[in-house]
């Protein structure tokens, strides 16, 4: 199941219009929008209400005179970077988070893209991010095909985000400045401290995604023995990888033997699988059999808890579900581990 970027009613991809209320649901015609109204209305109305609340809270903040304790006049301009330190902004931040969650109930490309932009803006306003917007972003990038940005974001937080060193109030410090990090590098650094479970899960998905891409490219090696023109073979192979990291790497795409890279990625994915198990043993079983976890509403969570699993699963499930064979890969890992345990 992939992100929808066509008419949600019939699948047409030309002449698309957007729902004027939620702004993220495409239709090819007014007739199809009307036909889909009963299905779309509940979530559309939720987005519309959430957006109206954000707009109201924003107007209040922009009109803020800033003459009281812990206040700032128009914090959107005067408190960029430490927006969350200003007491009156807390209701706005919560409202913006609610809007993001409402938008993500719509499974379209536009919805994921809109949510990602909201999150990026909130991270610009509030670097310290006490609401956890940053835990949502890598999975969204993976859904949108922005795999390198997903990894760069994770790498920055996992290697820089140490509150004992990084001064979140110093706006002159570099922020989210890692670009084009080596996605093939060892993920061992993620197991050296207490990493974000959401980041672990997303890096594992990225490794699995690239591994599956290389497997499929390896299967296409027979094409060189056909009578097809090389230009056509290259064109076919270009559309095999799901990850743009693989597709846009000329050296990888021109290779015919992917086994060394595949072994490397398989080992890295295995390490991340075990690391996730170590930090939260509830996660992988829930990914392959979500049951009611996707509808759960955990208020608080602690490291390794079922509630933490539910929260992260809700952040990440769509990214796994929209990547063909990825969940099956995890099912196989679980079965192999269970078989090994039974034999020992």
Q: State pLDDT tens for residues 193-214.
A: 788 999 999 999 999 999 999 9
pLDDT range class, residue 279, cuts 50, 70, 90: very high
pLDDT range class, residue 230, cuts 50, 70, 90: confident
Q: Is 26 helix (H, G, I), strand (E, B) or coil?
A: strand
- In sequence order, what are the residues at sequence separation of 6 or more whose Cβ sits closer than 8 angstroms to the Cβ of residue 78? 66, 72
**What is the pLDDT, as a whole number, of residue 164?**
65
Q: Find the angle CA(212)-CA(214)-CA(219) to the nearest 5 degrees.
A: 95
Mean pLDDT of 245-251: 94
**What is the pLDDT, as a whole number, of residue 331?**
97
**What b-and-e string marks burial along 228-250, b requiring 16 or more CB atoms within 10 Å of the CB?**
eeeeeeeeebeebbbbebbbebe
**What b-and-e string marks burial along 195-204, b requiring 16 or more CB atoms within 10 Å of the CB?**
bbbbbbbbbb
pLDDT range class, residue 64, cuts 50, 70, 90: confident
51 or 78, greater pLDDT: 51
pLDDT at 152 over 90: yes
């Amino acid at each position: 199941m992939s992100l929808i970027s066509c008419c949600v009613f019939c699948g047409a991809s030309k002449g698309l219009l957007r729902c004027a209320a939620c702004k993220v649901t495409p239709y090819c015609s007014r007739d199809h929008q009307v036909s889909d109204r009963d299905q779309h209305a509940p979530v559309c109305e939720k987005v519309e209400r959430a957006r109206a609340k954000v707009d109201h809270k924003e107007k209040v903040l922009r009109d803020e005179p800033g003459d009281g304790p812990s206040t700032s006049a128009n914090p959107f301009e005067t408190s960029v970077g430490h927006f969350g330190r200003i007491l009156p902004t807390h209701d706005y931040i919560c409202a913006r988070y609610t809007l993001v969650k409402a938008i993500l109930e719509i499974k379209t490309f536009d919805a994921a893209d809109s949510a990602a932009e909201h999150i990026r803006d909130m991270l610009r306003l509030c670097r310290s991010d006490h609401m956890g917007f940053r835990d949502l972003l890598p999975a969204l990038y993976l859904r949108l095909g922005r795999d390198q940005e997903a990894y760069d974001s994770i790498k920055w937080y996992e290697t820089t985000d140490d509150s004992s060193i990084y001064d979140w109030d110093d706006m002159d410090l570099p922020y989210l400045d890692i670009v084009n990090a080596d996605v093939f590098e060892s993920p061992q650094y993620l197991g050296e401290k207490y990493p974000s479970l959401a980041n672990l899960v997303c890096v594992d998905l990225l490794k699995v995604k690239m591994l599956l891409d290389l497997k499929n490219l390896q299967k296409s090696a027979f094409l060189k023995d056909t009578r097809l023109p090389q230009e056509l073979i290259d064109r076919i192979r270009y559309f095999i990888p799901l990850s743009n990291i693989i597709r846009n790497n000329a050296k990888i795409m021109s290779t015919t033997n992917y086994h060394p890279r595949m072994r490397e990625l398989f080992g890295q994915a295995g390490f991340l699988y075990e690391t996730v198990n170590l930090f939260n043993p509830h996660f992988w079983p829930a990914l392959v059999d979500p049951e009611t976890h996707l509808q759960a509403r955990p208020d608080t969570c602690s490291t390794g808890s079922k509630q933490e699993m539910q929260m992260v699963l809700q952040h990440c499930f769509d990214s796994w579900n929209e990547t063909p064979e990825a969940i099956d890969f995890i099912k196989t890992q679980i079965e192999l581990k269970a078989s090994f345990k039974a034999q020992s």
